[in-house]
Structure formats: C-alpha cells, structure tokens
C-alpha cells in the first residue's frame, strides 16, 4: 500500500510538511538547521526566487522534441541535469536510509553522491542501487520518446583527514566499490556555529553509526599545493572540490587540473552570511567558462530551481534536503516521488519557456527582480566562448 494514499503530495513542500510532522524534534532540528542566524540558509531559497524565467512562444515543444538530459559530464549525458547530493545520516529519517535513496535514484537513472557520514556501508549503497536498476522491466526504462535511460553514476563525498592513511584506505575502498568521482569537502575546516547543536548536542542514536567514514573529519591544515597532488597520487577517480564560493578558488581549481567543482555553502550550515550559492554561481561560471563541470547545490526544491541554476552556469544540480524530506515522508517511495516531481516540473518549465534542449538554457532566459528598479533586469548572455561540448 502506498505511503501517500491519504495525503497525495504534489510538491516537495508537501513532502517536507509530512516529513517534519513525522520526525522527532532532534532529527528535525538537525536536518532543518543552519549556522547562527541562518541568513545563508534562508537566502539559498529566497535568492533563487528572485530570478524569473522569461518565456518564448510559438516554438515546437512537442513531447518528442524535449530533451531533458544534461550536457555531457566527462563524456556522458546524464538522464537529467540533477542528481542526489551527499547528505549525512539518512537512517535518521527512518526506513532503509541511503539504501532507499539509492534504489529510488537508480530506478530512474539518476546519479547519487554518497556522504562519508553515511549510515549505510558504501558498498551496500551502490549494490542496492545496481540491484534495483537490474530489476526494472525494459519497458519502464524509457522515460520519454527521445532517448533511453543510461545507468546512474556513483560519487563519493569525502573529508580529507589529517591521518592520510585512513583517507587513502577510504578512497581505495570507494574506488573498488565502483564510485567514479570524489567530492572533496573544503568548507568545513571547523564546524560552523549551529545554535540548535549548542542548545542540545546532537548525537546519533545507539542503533546507528557512521558506517562509511567514521574516522574522518576535515584536516584544517590542508591546502591547494599539497592536497591536490596527494589525491592524484592515490586515485584515478575524478576529483572535485565541494564548497567553492569565490571566483579565485574557481581559478585555482582550473590551475590545479581538477575535474570539476561544486558551488556550495554546505546548505547554510557553516559560515553564516556567506553568499547564497545562486548569487555566487555566475561569477564562478565566468571563470570556469565551461572548461570543467560545475555542480551546484543550495536551496533547490523545485524543477524551476534546477532551470535557474543551469541558466546561471551549473551543469549538474545536487538535491539535498529535498531528498531527505521524501525519504522521511515515505522511504524509497517518497524519494522516488521527490525525484519524479522535480523531473516533471523541470520538463514543464523547459516546455513553457520554449526550450527543447538544456544547451538553450542561458542567462538571457532569466530576468532579475530588483525592488529598487521599475521592471525586470534582463540578464545578458556571457561574452566568453563556452567550452562545454553539446
């Protein structure tokens, strides 16, 4: 029987309400909370909402014309330009935690980033996804009339410890299991000041543990010139740094030959009053110029948010709390509903905007609401040559 026979959620906001009503107070505070006054946490959402989509009409947007796949990421077009982002402690939400998330994502050919603070073994997560994928009937693998689904990719988030032997062992373990990229978190040299945590210290309940990365926390002394060469020496996986907000750090990512970056402020949980990620994104995209993929997270709750991030320079949008709300609301079914809602919203936004392919989603498809100016501020496309393949 469906978990949603009575409630019939039609949006991520509906799933969030169901989830928050079900979760214990301490878990709700952990998932919801941000740093200090939670300015950045709120602005991750409110800044997205300042951007308006300016549609074009009399365009052939028949269902056989719409192609919602991402631009090529390391030579492969993802089925959608969004993926499950890494977030900690899924089993706090109940059900099978990360295993349910993996199953829901894999059945839809949506890639997944796993947190090193997972409450499920990293091997079990990728196996659960692969088994779920293999059991899908061939007919259900066609998501639209344009293309067949490709398999999900699996990415591992990582805190690099000052005990490098532990980190190296974890990297090799992830590589053996089938993960193809490392998302190296760089924005947590120290834990942000989180008021809910200070008022009531958060601890995992006795029946749960950090199954994937219980030995690791970010080394506060690591730096560009030391970290990246060391990572290259121990793995062949793709390497991305997660937590880029400054254009100069984007330039350093290019200089050091990284395979991508993640524009992120840790969900507003680290430095309060750091910029909302959507506000940081355009300047970073102007530095990257399509030379490496830009992943993006922060405040994404709707398909239109995915569109906004792509227009401002992202290649892949990572879903964080939206997935947790689906999981807490209804396990695998709830996660699947979250992903389906965002996919359908995104497809509809494309069609209503007169867009048939993600390569057409550019800055000029957006306008900015400025309360100090009459009318909308229309955004010009960048003048630099976009190096991304189509």
Q: pLDDT tens across 329-352, in order? A: 999 999 999 999 999 999 999 999
Averaged over 131-149, what is the pLDDT? 64
Higher pLDDT, 353 or 202: 353
Cα–Cα distance between 84 and 319 in angstroms, integer?
5
Residue among 342, 281, 277, 336 nearest 306 (CA): 342
The reply to whether 94 sits in an annotated binding site is no
- pLDDT of 173 strictly over 60: yes
Cα–Cα distance between 243 and 92 in angstroms, integer?
24
The reply to whether 301 sits in an annotated binding site is yes
Look at residue 1 in the predicted model and tell me its pLDDT. Answer: 62
Residue among 315, 317, 181 nearest 259 (CA): 181
Higher pLDDT, 206 or 9: 9
Q: Assess whether 246 carries a catalytic annotation.
A: no
Residue 215's CB: how many other CB atoms inside 10 A? 14
The reply to whether 297 sits in an annotated binding site is yes
Q: Which of 195, 246, 266, 378 is catalytic?
A: 266
pLDDT band at 262 (very low <50, low <70, confident <90, very high): very high
The reply to whether 242 sits in an annotated binding site is yes
* Residue 371 CB-density burial (10 A; 0-12 exposed, 13-18 middle, 19+ buried): exposed
Look at residue 149 in the predicted model and tell me its pLDDT. Answer: 77
Residue among 352, 361, 304, 347 nearest 143 (CA): 347
Residue 51's CB: how many other CB atoms inside 10 A? 24
Cα–Cα distance between 150 and 106 in angstroms, integer?
10
- pLDDT of 139 strictly over 80: no
CA angle 6, 7, 13 (to 5 degrees): 170
The reply to whether 159 sits in an annotated binding site is yes
Cα–Cα distance between 89 and 31 in angstroms, integer?
9
- Average pLDDT of the chain, as a whole number: 92
Percent of the chain with pLDDT over 70: 95
The reply to whether 300 sits in an annotated binding site is yes
Residue among 117, 88, 85, 98 nearest 30 (CA): 88
Cα–Cα distance between 82 and 64 in angstroms, integer?
21
| Beta strands 238-244 and 181-185, pairing class | parallel
Residues 6+ apart with CB under 8 A from 45: 299, 301
Look at residue 197 in the predicted model and tell me its pLDDT. Answer: 77
| Distance linking the first and last C-alpha atoms of the chain | 43
Averaged over 275-282, what is the pLDDT? 97
Enter the tokens of residue 61. Answer: 């947007």
The reply to whether 321 sits in an annotated binding site is yes
* Whether pTM exceeds 0.85: yes
Residue 370's CB: how many other CB atoms inside 10 A? 11
The reply to whether 264 sits in an annotated binding site is yes
Averaged over 228-249, what is the pLDDT? 98
pLDDT band at 385 (very low <50, low <70, confident <90, very high): confident
The reply to whether 87 sits in an annotated binding site is yes
Averaged over 39-45, what is the pLDDT? 95
Enter the tokens of residue 123. Answer: 């091997």
Cα 212 to the center of its chain, rounded Å: 19
The reply to whether 320 sits in an annotated binding site is yes
């Amino acid at each position: 029987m469906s978990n949603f026979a009575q409630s019939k959620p039609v949006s991520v906001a509906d799933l969030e309400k169901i989830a928050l009503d079900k979760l214990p107070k301490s878990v709700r505070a952990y998932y919801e909370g941000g740093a200090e006054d939670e300015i950045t946490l709120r602005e991750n959402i409110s800044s997205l909402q300042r951007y308006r989509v300016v549609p074009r009409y009399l365009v052939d947007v028949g269902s056989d014309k719409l192609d919602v796949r991402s631009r090529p990421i390391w030579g492969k077009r993802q089925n959608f330009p969004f993926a499950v982002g890494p977030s900690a402690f899924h089993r706090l939400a109940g059900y099978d935690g990360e295993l349910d998330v993996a199953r829901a994502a894999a059945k839809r050919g949506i890639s997944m980033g796993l947190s090193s603070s997972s409450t499920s073994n990293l091997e079990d997560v990728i196996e659960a996804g692969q088994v779920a994928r293999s059991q899908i009937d061939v007919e259900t693998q066609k998501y639209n009339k344009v293309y067949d689904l490709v398999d999900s990719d699996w990415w591992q988030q990582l805190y690099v410890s000052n005990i490098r032997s532990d980190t190296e062992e974890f990297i090799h373990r992830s590589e053996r299991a089938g993960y193809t990229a490392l998302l190296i978190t760089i924005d947590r040299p120290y834990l942000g000041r989180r008021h809910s945590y200070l008022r009531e210290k958060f601890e995992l309940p006795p029946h749960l543990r950090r199954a994937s990365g219980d030995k690791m926390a970010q080394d506060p002394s690591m730096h560009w010139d030391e970290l990246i060469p060391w990572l290259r020496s121990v793995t062949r996986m793709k390497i991305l740094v997660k937590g880029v907000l400054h254009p100069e750090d984007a330039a350093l990512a290019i200089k050091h030959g990284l395979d991508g970056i993640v524009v992120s402020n840790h969900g507003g949980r680290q430095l309060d009053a750091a910029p909302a990620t959507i506000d940081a994104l355009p300047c970073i995209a102007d530095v990257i110029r399509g030379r490496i993929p830009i992943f993006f997270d922060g405040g994404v709750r709707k398909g239109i948010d995915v569109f906004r991030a792509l227009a401002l320079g992202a290649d892949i949008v990572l879903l964080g709390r939206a997935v947790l709300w689906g999981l807490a609301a209804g396990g695998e079914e709830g996660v699947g509903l979250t992903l389906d809602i965002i996919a359908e919203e995104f497809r509809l936004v494309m069609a209503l905007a007169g867009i048939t392919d993600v390569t057409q989603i550019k800055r000029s498809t957006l306008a900015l609401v400025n309360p100090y100016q009459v009318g909308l501020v229309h955004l010009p496309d960048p003048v630099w040559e976009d190096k991304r393949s189509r």
